[in-house]
Amino acid sequence: MDLVTWSDEYSVNIREIDSQHKKLVKLITLLQKETDEKNQHKAVNEILEELIKYTVYHFSFEESLFAQYSYPETRTHIQAHTELIEQLKTFLNEFHSSGNVLPIDLINFLQKWLIDHIVGEDKKYSSYLNSKGVN
Ligand SMILES: [Fe+2]
Ligand SMILES: [Fe+2]
């Protein structure tokens, strides 16, 4: 499986947010390393918990910037964050409760879940926030 790695095409031109996105990518990469092992359950759970915690922190960081600079797409973006958290919880519940979700499906899901949002939604605020002096 191709592992997601940071690429400049994911940059939103805001240093702190790029660094938070890099940390999220790193957590997913770490998860893949752990799932290569046979008995990975404990480590996987720990990483998933950190991923959820850090995602919640990251989303609220973005949302506080939106509020501070009156970003016009705030409502839509917050809605997307809420849906992402719901999707993540649903997928993780399934992962924990059924044997049908393979670790590799989990990694694929998380990669797509994160990168699609960065490229599809986060990049939309770049020029607005840059124009307000956030970079
Ligand atoms: Fe983001
Ligand atoms: Fe976002």
Distance 118 CA to ligand 1 centre (A): 6
pLDDT along the chain (135 residues), means of 10: 81 97 93 66 78 95 98 97 91 76 79 94 97 96
pLDDT the model gives residue 85: 92
φ/ψ of 101, rounded to 5, equals -90, 115
**DSSP per-residue codes, 102-116:** -HHHHHHHHHHHHHH
Give the pLDDT confidence score for residue 34 in this predicted structure. Answer: 76
Can you give the pLDDT at residue 42?
61
* Ligand of minimum distance to the alpha carbon of 120: 2
Q: What is the dihedral of CA 91, 10, 79, 32, to 10 degrees?
A: 10
Give the number of whichever ligand sits closest to the CA of residue 71: 2
Q: Report the pLDDT value the prediction gives residue 40, as an integer from 0 to 100.
A: 53
Domains and CATH numbers, the chain: 13-131 (1.20.120.50)
Classify residue 14 as left (phi > 0), alpha (psi -120 to 50) or beta: beta
Measured CA to CA, the distance from residue 88 to residue 94 in angstroms comes to: 10
Q: Cα(19) to centroid of ligand 2, in Å?
A: 14
The pLDDT, as a whole number, for residue 107 is 84
**20: helix, strand or coil:** helix
Q: Which pLDDT score, from 0 to 100, does residue 41 have?
A: 58
